[in-house]
Amino acid sequence: DTGVSQNPRHKITKRGQNVTFRCDPISEHNRLYWYRQTLGQGPEFLTYFQNEAQLEKSRLLSDRFSAERPKGSFSTLEIQRTEQGDSAMYLCASSLDGPGDRGYTFGSGTRLTVV
């Protein structure tokens, strides 16, 4: 098992451009989460999938953000018309069940810089 994989690791984009990030969770994990972390803060919840169903979406996720998990395996997070305030580390995590004893397994994140 190679853990949770996120691509790309770093992305620099100009304001107004669209970006897409990919997350490959641990294969047997049916739950997948996206979090955003800015400098000096802890991760903030963005959205949660159980298999292919998106069960919760934070109000932090404006209409410019969309996440999918089409076959219940990998997930993508797209940001349209990026703004400087979107600059952050985007973290993906997966789990077999609830936080419980085993918690989440996080990927290494995608660092987005909007210039």
Partner 1 sequence: TQLLEQSPQFLSIQEGENLTVYCNSSSVFSSLQWYRQEPGEGPVLLVTVVTGGEVKKLKRLTFQFGDARKDSSLHITAAQPGDTGLYLCAGASNDYKLSFGAGTTVTVRA
Residues that bind partner 1 (CB under 8 A): 4, 31, 33, 35, 40-45, 48, 50, 55-56, 91, 93, 97-109, 111
To partner 1, the closest distance from the beta carbon of 97 in angstroms equals 8
To partner 1, the closest distance from the beta carbon of 108 in angstroms equals 5
Cβ nearer to partner 1, comparing 44 with 68: 44
Phi-psi region of 16 (alpha: psi -120 to 50; beta: other; left: phi over 0): left
Cβ nearer to partner 1, comparing 7 with 80: 7
Distance CA 10, CA 1 (A): 23
Give which of 5, 4, 15, 3 is closest to 112, Cα–Cα: 15
Cβ nearer to partner 1, comparing 11 with 31: 31
To partner 1, the closest distance from the beta carbon of 17 in angstroms equals 23
Alpha-carbon distance values, 53 to 43, 49, 68, 73, 96 (Å): 22, 5, 9, 11, 15
